[in-house]
């Protein structure tokens, strides 16, 4: 990765990718790009009826209308509180209820909770959650053609397998690059 490359992604580039987005089953957006580009991505996805999975990392408060337009939000508990401008001590289930789009909340070794409609539901099937957030989000995008419960369960299974030991890193763990779609055996088109 080139340092600073994410900061150079522009709304104009998002608009130029409109045909690619139109053919996609899902678009994954993270907060590592400029906020105006995140907004352009969420708005384009909504206009084209393509689900945008908003991974709010690094966490920051977002306008509620962006969340209404997003297909899904995939924060951890800390990120969700910041995203909503809420007290971090608030029960995560209450925060999930306040989120205006379907939400998949990752809780490390406790697994994931999801809420599409109604009350949050716990999905506990964790192999190892260390360093696998990007893989979890990519796998979720691959499996969204199924119902949300199955997509969360499948993403948890894949992200645990993709967290591998890396001796050159100080932390020792990272999400392995690579083959989420191949592992999933899916022909899903992601933008």
Residues 27 and 181: their CA atoms lie apart, in Å, by 14
- Among the listed residues 36, 65, 128, 134, the single catalytic one is 134
Angstrom CA distances, 53 to 25, 64, 67, 89, stand at: 11, 15, 10, 25
* Under 8 Å between Cβ of 63 and 92: no
* Under 8 Å between Cβ of 85 and 99: no
Structure tokens at 190: 């992601």
Residues 147 and 169: their CA atoms lie apart, in Å, by 36
Residues 146 and 165: their CA atoms lie apart, in Å, by 31
Task: Say which DSSP state 190 is in.
Answer: B
How many residues does the structure list for the chain?
191
Would you call 128 a catalytic residue per the annotation? no
Q: Is 104 helix (H, G, I), strand (E, B) or coil?
A: strand
List, by residue number, the catalytic residues: 134
């Amino acid at each position: 990765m080139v340092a600073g490359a994410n900061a150079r992604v522009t709304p104009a580039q998002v608009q130029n990718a409109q045909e690619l987005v139109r053919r996609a089953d899902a678009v994954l957006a993270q907060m590592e790009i400029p906020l105006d580009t995140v907004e352009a991505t969420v708005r384009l996805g909504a206009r084209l009826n393509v689900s945008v999975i908003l991974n709010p990392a690094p966490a920051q408060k977002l306008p509620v209308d962006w969340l209404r337009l997003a297909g899904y939000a995939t924060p951890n508990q800390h990120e969700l509180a910041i995203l909503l401008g809420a007290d971090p001590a608030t029960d995560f289930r209450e925060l999930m209820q306040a989120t205006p789009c379907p939400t998949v909340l990752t809780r490390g070794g406790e697994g994931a909770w999801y809420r599409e409609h109604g009350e949050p539901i716990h999905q506990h099937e964790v192999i190892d959650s260390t360093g696998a957030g990007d893989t979890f989000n990519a796998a979720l995008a691959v499996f969204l053609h199924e119902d949300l419960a199955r997509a969360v369960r499948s993403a948890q299974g894949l992200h645990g397998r993709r967290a591998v030991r890396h001796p050159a890193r100080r932390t020792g763990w990272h999400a392995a690059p690579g083959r989420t779609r191949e592992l999933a055996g899916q022909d899903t088109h992601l933008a």
